[in-house]
Structure 1
Amino acid sequence: MKRLYLSITQDIISDIKEGHYPVGTRLPCERELAKKLSVSRVTIREAQIALEAEGYIEKDRSGAFVKRRDISFVSELPEMSAFELTAARAVFEPEAAALAATNITDAGLEELRLLIQAMANSNPETDDSGEDVDKKFHLTIARLSGNAAVEHIIQTLWRIRNEVPQVSSVYAKVCRVDGAARTEEHAAILDALYRRDPPAARSAMRLHFDRLFQEMLTVTENDALEEIKRESRENRQKYLRVTQI
């Protein structure tokens, strides 16, 4: 079953390609697009996340603007689900944390401490700064692992996380509801790194991914239920229109 926001994403992409929204122009606001396309503002928001991930738009405080698209990165990344990506991350990132625990310096620990402090001060419901800090935290651990191959793999996994639409949209939803848990889990990882304890660092990172996986299950189940309810409403309306002729 194709998700509604993916259909809306394709509709907007078609409008962009046909010149209805030239490069540099501002897309209509969420409310206007929702009314035009007969969907909710939440669906428009999800579609914009996908459009941004695919390089069609860029967003700032004043709205979403059509950008000149660089397709080089899109063709390089494989199609996959958010669950597949998370399973891969759960293999590599705990090992990176264990390696970092054996190599980390006081400067590296301070770098991570400041990132957690910034994460704690962010509000996932109102801004995206927490996601940026989250990315920096994980990529910093990958760098501090001291293994260039591990660092490259984790950087690639993060590109998939942010640039493949069906992955980035799921992660965006999870990150809006798990701010406090995410900060606590990252603090536990840092505590293990402070103790230079590889097994504890590996375990703390795995616990982080265990909780993330469960949150993703909840989000996708809720989305599926909402899609079923939407289709039921549409079918009911169709039936009523036919029977009232």
Structure 2
Amino acid sequence: MTTGEKLYQRVAGAIETAILEGRYLPGARLPGERDLAEEFGVSRPTIREAMIALEIRGFVTARHGSGLYVSATAGAAADGPELDVGAFELIEARLLFEGEAAALAATAVDAEMLTRLEEALVAMAADNSGHAERLQADRHFHMLIAEATGNSLVATIIETLWKVREQSPLCVHMFDKARREGVTPRVDEHRLIVDALRAHDPQAARQAMHGHLQRVTEDLLAATELALIEQARSEIEARRDHIARRVAL
């Protein structure tokens, strides 16, 4: 792995090379996630990021509910976009930094900041809020916790992580898939974080933040898997309709 290369990029690059060299021919089915995770010695979320990256770049497509297949036009995709950081890698970093930020904030948070956090919860839960407004309220909530630490470097790091979420093409693509599957910020999980901060309990605040971000990971895993399943289901339904029309002739 070259300096600065991410795990999912290494996996995606190896599979790209295999496709371009003809080891996986157009129409060939790729091994399943578990097999690839074992082969490359990485986690399933890393494999999922690599597969989505390959899908975006046009190297693979989902088909018939049986997995991912090499695209017929894979050779023309070699100059596709650079995708940068994936959502699972981002959440791993957020777990590290935002968990500790929550613990630190619990020792320093004051009544004014708790009021501002409550206001962010209200905005997140508002019935008339669209996706963009809820996402902004979610971002604001987490940045308030970073601010509550009283450490400007902590706040800068967490702001940088949120910018990655908004600017990395692979991150954006993965979170958009989750949104289309109905995933939205969970107000109850954010409420647990506020409760721990109000109690000035660093351990509870850390655990509440970790629980929240782990749930985000689970939602992303489910949403990206569901997107593949839904695509396959649509193809199956279209084929079923086609057969029914032919039978009716």
> TM-score, normalized by length of structure 2?
0.58
Deviations 1:169-203 (A, max 9, x none): 32234356244x71000011000111111111101
Kept after mapping to 2: 8 A contact 1:192/1:204? yes
Corresponding residue for residue 102 of structure 1: 107
Distance 1:198 1:171 in 2: 29
Corresponding residue for residue 121 of structure 2: 116
Please state if 1:185 is matched with 2:162. no
Please state if 1:216 is matched with 2:220. yes
| 1:129-208 to 2 correspondences below 5 Å | 129-175=133-179, 177-179=182-184, 182-208=186-212
Distance 1:7 1:230 in 2: 22
Distance 1:135 1:223 in 2: 25
Deviation at 1:150, TM superposition (A): 1.4
Give the counterpart of 1:86 among 76, 84, 91.
91
Deviation at 1:120, TM superposition (A): 1.3
Distance 2:135 2:175 in 1: 10
Kept after mapping to 2: 8 A contact 1:123/1:130? no
Distance 2:236 2:57 in 1: 18
Distance 1:204 1:87 in 2: 15
Deviations 1:189-226 (A, max 9, x none): 00011111111110100110111111110011122334
Deviation at 1:97, TM superposition (A): 0.6
Distance 1:194 1:88 in 2: 25
List gaps (5 residues or longer) in structure 1.
9-74, 236-245
Deviation at 1:4, TM superposition (A): 9.5
Distance 2:128 2:206 in 1: 27
Evaluate the alpha carbon distance shift between residue 106 and residue 157 of structure 1 in structure 2; reply closer, same or farther with a 3 A threshold.
same
Kept after mapping to 2: 8 A contact 1:122/1:129? no
Distance 1:150 1:128 in 2: 25
Distance 2:86 2:207 in 1: 24
> TM-score, normalized by length of structure 1?
0.59
Deviation at 1:128, TM superposition (A): 2.0
Distance 2:153 2:238 in 1: 51
Evaluate the alpha carbon distance shift between residue 120 and residue 154 of structure 1 in structure 2; reply closer, same or farther with a 3 A threshold.
same
| 1:65-80 to 2 correspondences below 5 Å | 79-80=84-85
Q: Letter of the aligned partner of 2:216 in structure 1?
A: L
List gaps (5 residues or longer) in structure 2.
1-50, 59-81, 240-249
Backbone CA RMSD of aligned residues: 3.1
Evaluate the alpha carbon distance shift between residue 146 and residue 175 of structure 1 in structure 2; reply closer, same or farther with a 3 A threshold.
farther
